[in-house]
Chain A
């Protein structure tokens, strides 16, 4: 008779109590979650880092970075573990990598959770606005004043990788706050086949197109051009922005926060026309989803006369194991030339590269170690060693050092390009702005939209994003 008794205990009042308990648990959890959100809301800006480095722990510590998976990430881990350990033997450096397309999501979903498994986020320069506005990274203005020789840098490089609000192109606002320090400088290099088009690199954009056209016609199976066209990351957007800059266009009027009518003005239209109607026909069929790796593959396999790629990603081109252009580095270099981008109406080049930013959610000991690492990394001797290890430094003395200039055939290109750099928008809405531009430029390049319509759509949609900060409902569509 035990069974009926048990059933008796599970009678209606018992079930009600349990149901009520479950409901209370649910409500309690909901309220707790609600409360969490409200607490975070009070933290509207980045917390400050101490002006001096706090006492470092004597215990073993792993200093974690987050970056996307590419050669400089592996170079950084190897370099830091070899060199920083000499100073801090108990510290291990771990550079966690994610696919490029997930880079922003991987960092900002952790920021959203207010808990990060990294201590130093390697942010793209344009991510700074989003991270600062949300209070995700430390304000290191006072730390920089006390520990970093800011006069050692080109002011714009220091501003691009650390300052918010964004600096005017080529300048730094010394009164603005700093949230990061340069880790890796970068820009595009023009890679050209010396054996196909001659030793002298084209000097103007128009000349470059005509040389590529001639080369393609004379060498069947080799396309005239190879460049980024994919709709992921910032691939197609950087390509358009580069051509836009060279042809005298502007991405926006940052003071008036105006994009429509600025991006799609006559210069912008001309740039889009050049890109889609003059450059695209010179690329390989099906190259509409190419990004860094695909462009490198085309060059390494001898399938392109002229290509454009980020300098920091070009090291593999000199590896005979990855190339069909030669069996030694010298043979490859006999065929490949690296030059700064051709000029046209202006000489602007895209600013690439990233800075180091301390997570606001990292443990205090790790934040202290992160600041110590950054101070160490920005030392003149370390910057030169980083250059020799394959990195692209930002200090002027390192950029002009023999260690850097002789480390790679494209390093001189970077040093020469520094005064010519222009960045995109560094605003909290960056991720959406770049997605709009990427998808529309990609559509134009692949025949899914007319070039003029694509540019007008970019300007209209981006303006909508910029103007919609106070909109109630439907944000993000």
Chain B
């Protein structure tokens, strides 16, 4: 206990206390800049958030983004991992190269993609132009802006899925494939009945981590679109930021944050139960 107490105290001060403090503030009308007493208003903040059309709009944007980005990353990440796992030479080098985007700061990634996707001066439109294709307004049109966010997030985080999938693929016992070969099983049959079922649980865990991360997306939105055009790419996290720091409505922002944490906890619990069932099955 004596050895762990510093860590426990740190956890208490840096994690547990802020959470409890935010929970307390979420039932008040406190504002960090205005100061003054934090008046208790019951579930007023929660009711306002849950019934707000603005929040519903951001929730839908976040949902579309999470589903789009995670689905794309899963397909690509698993595909790349599968192709790498079949190679005998250069596997390490390829894996390292593919991991580079994941190592970069999201702000840096956002900045250079912002330059690349610029409609006038960006390299992407320049390449499209050299092939006789028209200019695309990547970051300033409703549909393309959200698509751009999905693409950039996919570029950065596909390696994460790839890494987990690769670990799963390399752990599949070789004798299963050998047995299937003796039975003259087709490539597709082997993939469907051996590879996928064994890698699937691990892949689902990777999907869960990515979904949680994507649900909290803030930095890429801030750098690439600033939530625009209008508010069409504002995610829940970005909206919380605005509530917290533009108007300094600390009570509302705390309730908003607590609700987001609750959503993640509930969904993760349901997901983990499904994973356990899958494991038992």
Query: Is there contact, CB below 8 Å, between B230 and A477?
Result: no
Cα distance A37–B47 in the bound complex, in angstroms: 25
Residue B170 interfacial (CB < 8 Å): no
- Write out, one digit per residue, whether chain B residues 221-242 have a CB within 8 A of any chain A CB (1) or not (0): 0100111111110000000001
The contact size tier of chain B is: 35 or more
The answer to whether B85 has its CB under 8 Å from any CB of chain A is no
A285 contact set on B, CB distance < 8 A? 119-120, 135, 137
A-contact bits for B216-260, CB 8 A (1 contact / 0 none): 000000100111111110000000001111111101110000000
Pick the 5 closest A-B CB pairs, nearest first. A286-B119, A474-B48, A473-B44, A443-B230, A476-B249
A288 within 8 A of B: yes
Give Cα A10–Cα B2 distance, bound, in whole angstroms. 10
Nearest B-chain residue to A446, judged by Cβ:
B229
Given contacts A10-B1, A133-B34, A286-B118, contact A477 B243 (CB under 8 A): yes
26 of the cross-chain contacts (CB-CB < 8 Å) are A30-B24, A33-B21, A34-B38, A40-B36, A41-B36, A43-B35, A44-B36, A231-B228, A231-B230, A287-B120, A289-B140, A289-B225, A297-B121, A303-B120, A431-B246, A440-B230, A443-B228, A446-B141, A448-B230, A472-B29, A474-B44, A474-B47, A475-B249, A476-B242, A476-B244, A476-B247
- Contact stretch, chosen from A18-26, A61-69, A376-384, A405-413: A18-26
Judged by a CB distance under 8 angstroms, whether A101 is at the interface is yes
Give Cα distance in the complex from A7 to B42, angstroms: 45
B139 beta carbon closer than 8 Å to chain A: yes
Binds A, one of B12-20, B95-103, B207-215, B263-271: B12-20
In the assembly, what is the distance between CA of A130 and CA of B252, in Å?
19
Contact yes or no, B245 A439, CB < 8 A = no
Chain B residues lying within 8 Å of A101, measured Cβ to Cβ, are 222, 226
Chain B residues 69-106 with CB under 8 Å of chain A are none
A200 close to chain B: CB less than 8 A: no
A416 within 8 Å of B (CB atoms): no
Q: Do A26 and B16 touch (CB < 8 A)?
A: yes
Q: Which of A76-125 contact B (CB under 8 A)?
A: 101, 104-105, 108-109, 111-112, 114
Spell out B's residues near A (CB within 8 Å).
1, 8, 12-13, 16-17, 20-21, 24, 29-39, 41-45, 47-49, 52, 54-55, 118-121, 125, 135, 137-142, 222, 225-232, 242-249, 251-253
Contact of B12 with A37 in the complex, beta carbons under 8 Å: no
- Check if A26 sits within 8 Å of B248, measured CB to CB: no
Q: Which residues of A contact B39 (CB under 8 A)?
A: 472
A446 touching B55 by the CB < 8 A rule? no
Residues of chain B within 8 A (CB-CB) of A257 are none
Asked if B119 contacts A287 (CB within 8 A), the reply is: yes
Known: A285-B135, A432-B246, A435-B246. A446 touches B226 (CB 8 A): no
Instruction: Check A29 against B17 for contact (C-beta < 8 Å).
Output: yes
Contact present for B45 and A105 (CB under 8 Å): no
B245, A105: Cβ atoms closer than 8 Å: yes
Instruction: Give the complex CA separation of A472 and B39 in angstroms.
Output: 9
Question: In the complex, given contacts A37-B35, A285-B137, A473-B251, what are 5 additional A-B residue pairs having Cβ atoms less than 8 angstroms apart?
Answer: A112-B32, A447-B141, A448-B232, A474-B49, A476-B242
Bound-complex Cα distance A447 to B243 (A): 25
Taken together as a complex, chains A and B put the C-alpha atoms of A287 and B140 apart, in Å, by 8
**Other-chain contact of A476, B8, B16, B140, B243 (Cβ < 8 Å):** B243
Say yes or no: A134 contacts B140, CB within 8 Å.
no
Return the contact of A429 from the options B38, B222, B247 (Cβ within 8 A).
B247
Shortest C-beta distance, A100 to chain B (Å), equals 11
Q: Which A residues are CB-close (under 8 A) to B230?
A: 231, 439-440, 442-443, 446, 448-449, 454
| Distance between B149 CB and nearest chain A CB, rounded to angstroms | 14
Q: Is the CB of B228 within 8 A of A286?
A: no
- Is there contact, CB below 8 Å, between A25 and B21? no
Please name all residues of chain B whose beta carbon is closer than 8 Å to the beta carbon of A475 when the two chains form the complex. Answer: 29, 31, 247, 249, 251-252
Most chain B CB atoms below 10 A, which of A25, A443, A475: A475
CA distance A44 to B39 in the complex (A): 16
